[in-house]
Chain A
Amino acid sequence: MKDLLKDLVKAFENKTRLGIMSALMVNDYLDFSSLKELLDVTDGNLASHLKLLEKGGFVTVRKEFLDRKPNTKYFATEIGKETFIRHIRAIEKLIQ
Chain B
Amino acid sequence: MDKKKYLDDLHAIKYMMERSSRFISLSGTSGILAGIFALIASFIAYITVYIKPENMGYLNTDLSQESKFIIMTIAAATLLLTLGAGIIFTSKKARKDNQKLWDRQSRRLLINLLIPLVTGGIFCMILLLKGFIGLIAPATLIFYGLALVNASKYTLSEIRSLGMIEIMTGLFASYFVGFGIFFWSIGFGILHIIYGIYMQRKYGS
Contacts and interface: CB of A to CB of B under 8 A. Distances in A.
A26 interface: yes
B100 interface: yes
B6 A23 contact: no
Interface string A80-96: 00000000100110110
Nearest to B104: A34
Query: By DSSP majority rule, is chain A's interface helix, strand, loop, or mixed?
Result: helix
B3 interface: yes
Given A19-B12, A88-B13, A26 B7 contact: no
A71 interface: no
B16 A94 contact: no
Contacts of A95: 3, 6-7, 10
Interface in A13-61: 15, 18-19, 22-23, 25-27, 30, 34, 37-39
A22 B16 contact: yes
Nearest to A94: B6
Contacts of B1: 94
Contact of B103 (A15, A37, A91): A37
Interface residues of A, number: 18
Contacts of A39: 16
Interface of B: 1, 3, 6-7, 9-10, 12-14, 16-17, 19-21, 100, 103-104
Contact of A18 (B9, B20, B100, B104): B9
B9 A91 contact: yes
16 contacts: A18-B12, A19-B12, A22-B13, A22-B14, A22-B20, A23-B17, A25-B17, A26-B17, A34-B104, A38-B16, A88-B10, A91-B9, A91-B10, A94-B1, A94-B6, A95-B6
B3 A30 contact: no
Given A15-B12, A18-B9, A88-B10, 5 more contacts: A18-B13, A18-B16, A22-B13, A37-B103, A39-B16
